[in-house]
Amino acid sequence: MTLESLGLTPSTLVFIVLGLTLVAFIWGRFRYDLVALAALLGSVMLGLVPADEAFAGFGHPAVITVAAVLVLSRGFERSGVVDVIANQVLKVGERLMLQLLVLVGTVVVLSGVMKNVGALALLLPVAMRLAREHNTSPSLLLMPLAFGSLLGGLTTLTGTPPNIIISAYRGNITGENFGMFSFSPVGIVVALAGLAFIVLVGWRLTPKRSGQAAADDMFDTANYLVELNVTKDSKANGLTLQQLRDELDETIPVLAVVREDNRRAGYQFHGVLQEGDILLLEAGPDELKLLEDKVGLSAIAEPEEPEEEQEQETDAKKDDERQPVDTEGLQLIEAVVRNDSMMINRSVRQLRLNHQFGLHLVAVARDGGRLKQRLRDIRFQTGDVLLLQGSENEITDSLSSLGCLPLASRELHLGQPRKLAISVGIFALAIGAMLFDLLPAAVAMSTAALVSLLIGVLPLRDGYQAIDGPVIVLLAAMLPVGEALETSGGADIIADALLRFGVEWPIVVSLVGLFCSPCSSPTW
């Protein structure tokens, strides 16, 4: 019994594959690249896609262009775009609508010239800092920011993969591709309309989380820094910091060791602890109990004061907030976990954060609030804000390797003005080559990416890391499946139906039907 005898024609099978794929995307149980790859392999086994053409999508110009744009986007990030944008955006003041206009407007513009995911990653730390400094719910800025990145991608050829795919398809059919700004007349109007809606109305519909992004709520380190004394009878006496960690079986970072009024950062202290040493570290009640029980370290008690002095101190505190613990020289860095970070779903131990990257994890904030669980038990998620301690000379490379972006509030500047100008100039030359039809988009963008790597705008390792594997697999896998829709006759069935109804209905109705078709999903 054959599939045809059951009424399962190639076009029917294509619709079934696409339908199941769409359901899997919506369900979200499996990652989108795995779903796309399953759809491709299923189509091959059903005879919808020739086996020798199954992986032709990986060499498609659209996929090559997207990979090159991802590399160029990371070059912009590395050259200091975050610092430049942050300094300008943070000048807008406290009015939420003005913040939204500048922030979302900026991501709309950036998304037009680079991958929208890259533009979103660039502005994510800027939005977090803006929310924190003005005590605003992060969702009021982050969700509009995500919508704006999608709108900006509509305005140019390289803004979003569907535009690149459509251009390549038009080139195959007519011999003429779309230009860099062929989408701009319609795309800009749609983007401006969307921007106006987001700024005036859309943010009011955004769910507001109870957690705030204020710095005091997230990482006021003075709230959690404690001083522990090494006594003569302490088990910690005579141990190195690494031996202390082994005894605790816990990743409690020692921020500094104070000995005779001389303080050394924890990562720079390689000797053994002695009686009278003071350890400055971040710990909650559970960690303090663990430190006391296992290694005999206890918090330094404040000396008792006369009752009269206590009353005076109490009155003074009403007018003056407590002074934070001096953290000068501890090099505390805040960073946000990117969506493509190697840290996602992994813990401190799995990452070997201290030994491999030279970083100590101090605290983690999620959804606007500091996580209270033990640091070693936390599995990182996209958007987590981390408080880290590390060497200033190595922090840039470590954060880049991990896939984290520093928050501008810690004055960590990753970029260099010279590299910023060079990276922008290289991109401008690539755009010019495309505008004057000197080079196809895939060749122009790939050349720009190669030059950026050769002259050191972006290290080669970061260039490979910038190529988002899941996105590439998604595009490369779905392209042959989309072509199967045409070769099987499924596209003709849809076109005939739209033409038949279009005779009686206005063209607007036909366009609505086309846009609502599962085949028009932006996933492919």
Are residues 337 and 297 located together in one domain of the fold?
Answer: no
Distance between CA atoms of 155 and 407, rounded to whole angstroms?
A: 29
| 72 and 201 part of one domain | yes
**Whether residue 425 sits in one domain with residue 458:** yes
366 SS3 class: strand
Can you give the pLDDT at residue 191?
92
Would 4 be classed as within a structural domain? no
| 362 neighbors 223 (Cβ within 8 angstroms) | no
The per-residue pLDDT for 325 is 41
Looking at the fold, whether 227 and 249 belong to one and the same domain comes out as yes
Please name every residue paired with 228 in a beta bridge, in sequence order, or none if there are none. 279, 299
Q: Are residues 177 and 196 in the same domain?
A: yes
Q: Judge if 143 and 186 occupy the same domain.
A: yes
User: Same structural domain for residues 387 and 430?
Assistant: no
Q: Among 280, 302, 324, which residue terminates a domain?
A: 302
Closest CA to 439 of 157, 111, 34, 81: 157
For residue 269, give its domain range: 221-302
Q: Which pairing describes strands 385-390 and 332-337: parallel, antiparallel, or unpaired?
A: antiparallel
Chosen domain end from 389, 410, 431: 410
pLDDT at 58: 92
- Domain membership of residue 480 (yes or no) is no
pLDDT number for residue 21 = 92
Residue 286 lies in a domain: yes
Ranges in the chain, pLDDT < 50: 211-216, 221-224, 301-329, 408-415, 520-524
350 and 441 together in one domain: no
The total of structural domains in the chain comes to 3
Task: Determine contact, residues 478/524, Cβ cutoff 8 Å.
Answer: yes
**CB of 415 within 8 A of CB of 76?**
no
Cα separation, 455 vs 37, whole angstroms: 36
Start-to-end Cα distance in the chain:
33
Do 86 and 177 have their domain in common?
A: yes
Nearest Cα residue to 142 out of 304, 323, 319, 368: 368
List the structure tokens of 292: 């006391």
In a domain, 486, yes or no: no
Q: What pLDDT score does 114 carry?
A: 73
In a domain, 34, yes or no: no
Co-location of 146 and 114 in the same domain: yes
Whether 396 and 414 have beta carbons less than 8 Å apart is answered as: yes
Last residue of a domain, one of 368, 385, 410: 410
Residues 70, 164, single domain; the answer is yes
Choose among 332, 350, 334: nearest CA to 384: 334
b/e string for 18-27 if b means 16 or more Cβ within 10 A?
beebbebbee
3-state secondary structure at position 120? helix
Claim to verify: residue 82 and residue 158 sit in the same structural domain: yes
Q: Return the exposure string of 489-505: e unless at least 16 CB atoms fall within 10 Å of the residue's CB, then b.
A: ebbebbeeebeeebeee
Residue 391 domain flag: yes
Judge whether 57 lies within some domain.
no
Residues 222-236: pLDDT tens digits? Answer: 444 567 888 888 888
How many Å apart are CA 435 and CA 10, to the nearest integer? 40
Full-model pTM: 0.60
